Each structure stands twice: as C-alpha cells, then as structure tokens.
C-alpha cells in the first residue's frame, strides 16, 4: 500500500491534512506514555521500562520535528531526518550502556508492575501503528516516523515477555536482555534513517 492522499511510495512528503492529524494524535499518545512509563520504570526498578519510556520521549520529539518540517524543501526534511537518526543512535548507545551498568546490581524488577505498564504501553503503540499504517512509506522524514512506531510495538511485547520471565526466574537478567534488544532496534532504525537521509541530501540540490 502507498502512503495516501494521492501520493505514492517514497514520493510522499507528509503534506496532507490527514497526516498532520495523525501526527498530532501520536504526539499526544507518546508524550503521555513517556511520563507514565518513566515513573513506573523507577518504581518497578526496570531498565527495560525506562528504556521504553525514553523511546516514547524520543518519538515525541521525532513526531514534533516531522510535523514542523512538513512542506519544507527535501533538503530540509532530509537534514531533520538525519538529526533524528543521530538521536536514535545516541539513545541506543545510552540504553546499552545503562543495561550493562545494571548488570552489576542485584535488584530484581517488580514483575507485575512491569508487565502491566508494558501492556498499557503496547496498547498505546498499537494505536499509534494503526493511526500511521497508511503513512508507512515516504521520504526519510515520513519513514522515520513509521520505523519509530513499529519498533515501539515490538519493544513493548518484549517488555511483557521479560516481565513474565522475571516473575518465573526471579532474576534481573530478562529485563537487561530486553533493554539490550531494544538498544539494537534503536541502532538498526538509526542506520536506516541516516542512510536514506544522506541519500536524499546527496541527490537533491540545496
């Protein structure tokens, strides 16, 4: 399926009323879940929940930037996408470092709280995925929004699985391994976004 509103595939630049409304909706969802999940992450002593909360925060910034640059020249949109890709790279490295640091602690996360918040976050991200589904293809700016939403839903399922394993094993290792997996998702998405943004910047005059 193409993007929508008379635009197809990679040519879609987000310049439609429907896409702007979709972005406003997911900005509200992600900003709310950042606060909820960060508070719960500290309460549950879960690095995976805190990593997911940071992802919600990053997505809130990403979607806001995407909204701001709609209608601007491709060079501008590509530069903003490059910035988002670099921020995802830093986020991935930060989460990986935090998980490695937590390996030296013995605290076991609160599995029930971790699983419950993970499920709530999954519902929030599934709502975002449904809202953005018809806008999943487009330029680097549009594509970055879709990749962030898709990764979030995958991460939430992983958090719920980790919560179950924490409860069964009474160990902090599942929480740490999921945090590292989420870090890998961030890094993978950053490579894709940066690659497409750089290609657009090379092929488009200033």
Residues 6+ apart with CB under 8 A from 22: 131, 132, 135
Does the reported pTM lie above 0.85?
no
Question: What pLDDT does 7 receive?
Answer: 36
Question: What pLDDT does 28 receive?
Answer: 95
The count of structural domains within the chain is: 1
| DSSP for residue 7 | B
Q: Is residue 40 domain-resident?
A: yes
36: CATH: 1.20.1510
Taking the C-alpha atoms of residue 173 and residue 44, their distance in angstroms, rounded to an integer, is 14
Q: Is residue 121 domain-resident?
A: yes
Q: By C-alpha distance, which of 23, 27, 22, 53 is closest to 152?
A: 53
Question: What pLDDT does 36 receive?
Answer: 95
**DSSP β-bridge partners for residue 56:** none
**DSSP β-bridge partners for residue 4:** 7
Q: Is residue 24 domain-resident?
A: yes
Per-block mean pLDDT, blocks of 10 residues, the chain (206 long): 36 70 90 94 87 84 80 76 83 83 75 89 87 69 67 79 87 86 83 83 72
Taking the C-alpha atoms of residue 178 and residue 108, their distance in angstroms, rounded to an integer, is 14
Q: Is residue 3 domain-resident?
A: no
Based on its alpha-carbon atoms, the radius of gyration of the chain, rounded to whole angstroms, reads 17
- Ramachandran area for residue 205 (φ above 0: left; ψ -120 to 50: alpha; else beta): beta
Which domain range does residue 41 map to? Answer: 10-203
Q: Is residue 1 domain-resident?
A: no
Question: Residue ranges of the alpha helices (H) in 45-171?
Answer: 47-69, 74-102, 111-132, 140-169
Q: Are 183 and 95 in contact (CB under 8 A)?
A: yes
Question: What pLDDT does 120 receive?
Answer: 93
Q: By C-alpha distance, which of 131, 171, 126 is closest to 151?
A: 126
């Amino acid at each position: 399926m193409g993007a929508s509103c008379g635009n197809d595939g990679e040519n879609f630049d987000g310049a439609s009323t429907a896409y702007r409304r979709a972005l406003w909706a997911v900005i509200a969802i992600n900003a709310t879940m950042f606060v909820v999940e960060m508070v719960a992450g500290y309460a549950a002593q879960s690095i995976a929940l805190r990593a997911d909360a940071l992802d919600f925060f990053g997505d809130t910034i990403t979607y806001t930037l995407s909204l701001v640059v709609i209608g601007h020249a491709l060079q501008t949109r590509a530069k903003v996408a490059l910035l988002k890709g670099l921020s995802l790279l830093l986020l991935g490295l930060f989460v990986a470092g935090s998980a490695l640091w937590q390996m030296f602690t013995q605290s076991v996360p609160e599995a029930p709280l971790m699983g419950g918040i993970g499920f709530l976050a999954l519902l929030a991200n599934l709502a975002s995925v449904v809202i953005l589904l018809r806008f999943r293809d487009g330029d680097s700016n549009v594509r970055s929004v879709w990749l962030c939403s898709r990764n979030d839903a995958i991460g939430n399922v992983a958090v719920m699985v980790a919560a179950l394993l924490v409860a069964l094993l009474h160990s902090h290792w599942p929480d740490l391994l999921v945090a590292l997996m989420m870090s890998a998702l961030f890094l993978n998405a950053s490579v894709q976004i940066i690659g497409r943004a750089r290609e657009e910047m090379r092929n488009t005059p200033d």
